[in-house]
Amino acid sequence: MIQKNNLLKIILLFSMVLFLFSSYSIYGNDFNQEEDTDIAKEIKTLTEEVSSDISNQTLNLNSHSCVVIDRLTQSILYGKNEKNKVKMASTTKIMTAIVVLENSSLDTTVETSKKAAGTGGSRLGLKTGDKITIRDLMYGLMLCSGNDAAVCLAENVGGSINGFAGLMNAKAQELGLSNSHFESPHGLDSDQHYTTAYELALLSDYALKNPTFLSIVGTKNHTVIINGTPKTLSNTNELLGNLDGVYGIKTGFTNGANRCLVTACKRGNMDIICVVLGADTKNFRTKDSIKLIEYSFKNFEYFKIKDFVDNYLLDWQNNHSDFFFIEKGHSNQLKIKVDNSLTQTPMIPVKKELIPTIESNLSIQPYWQAPVNENDRIRSITHIFSRY
């Protein structure tokens, strides 16, 4: 009887080990072992916690590097070591995804190689010989962060991991990402595989302009088909669906990179990308991201440059009706307007407290000699600035 009980215990223990191994093999590096069962409640609590920090205009961040950029202008709203080269873990898959989308057909069915099936870390759960479409591999890449899916895609799009890395680096060069370098489609630690928080934000902005990419990273749950069998995947992005305005994009974790998260968030007419790299824990990653997002929306709003300049010139002309003297001219009246090149960006994000301090400085000489033609450049507005 004792032997049977011991045998039963061994069988149960072995079953538990298998279950844990199975869970790890699906999620691996991006699997959150600290995650609460009610993630929405956790995020609500964290959002309430950070409100005091944001009100005091101070952000105590755990993350090694981070940045928030405004998507309209790509200007930096907040940065910490944002241009330092660092490891990026599975946020690499943002580049992987865009290279695949631009160089393949999503409805193509491919077969999983032994190398792809044997790739460690976070996994979709592919086996050698499995048949799956590139479209479903993309969901496996971006939702459950499958390294096996990444290698399968790389082999089929680039011919090999090295060949695909060449495509990744060519795309980085095309986008002007001079401080980024890629060696793999999955982002497992390597000294020559790196980016910066700022360049990762720029890459993310580019990727989100692709409608298919945007749809995939904004999906909470999706069912893929492997060998004709359905398998439901869940997105590892804890903020998606749980923080107001979040619509993507990618989590990451390796021992070298620590916890990473790229988040896209839109509220009203302001659209931002927040990148957090090198957080010590998943809780810090989440909290830092929430801090940066809430800080940005609380403290910034769009300032309409064109309206400001047009109103300024109208006021100036109303107050300087006799300002000009045109030698040999039929009239001393000049109507001035702003060259459109000055206001190519109609709006810029500005800290709310600084908007009342914005000024314009216009310097124009009053004496001219005829002829003065329409659209002649007579001077420039030397600067628009805020008094800090």
pLDDT at 50: 78
> What is the mean pLDDT of the segment spanning 69-94?
97
* Cα gap 293→309, rounded to integer Å: 30
Look up tokens 């995020």; give the residue: 43
Which residue numbers are catalytic?
Answer: 90, 93, 145
What's the pLDDT tens digit per position in 157-210?
999 999 999 999 999 999 999 999 999 999 999 999 999 999 999 999 999 999
Query: Looking at this protein, which amino acid is placed at residue 305?
Result: I
Instruction: Label the pairing between strands 300-304 and 367-369.
Output: unpaired
Examine the pLDDT at 27 and tell me if it is beyond 70: no
pLDDT at 13: 36
> What is the mean pLDDT of the segment spanning 262-291?
97
Continuous segment of H or E residues that includes residue 20: helix 2-27
pLDDT higher for 358 or 335? 358
Hey, is 184 helix, strand or coil? Answer: coil
Instruction: Label the pairing between strands 65-70 and 76-80.
Output: antiparallel
Q: Where are the beta strands (DSSP E) in the chain?
A: 65-70, 76-80, 109-111, 131-133, 221-226, 229-234, 246-254, 258-267, 270-279, 300-304, 325-327, 347-351, 359-362, 367-369, 381-385
* Cα gap 117→119, rounded to integer Å: 6
Is the sign of the CA dihedral 211, 212, 218, 219 positive or negative? positive
* Ordered domains of the chain (ranges, CATH): 18-301 (3.40.710.10), 303-385 (no CATH)
pLDDT at 5: 44
> What is the mean pLDDT of the segment spanning 46-73?
84
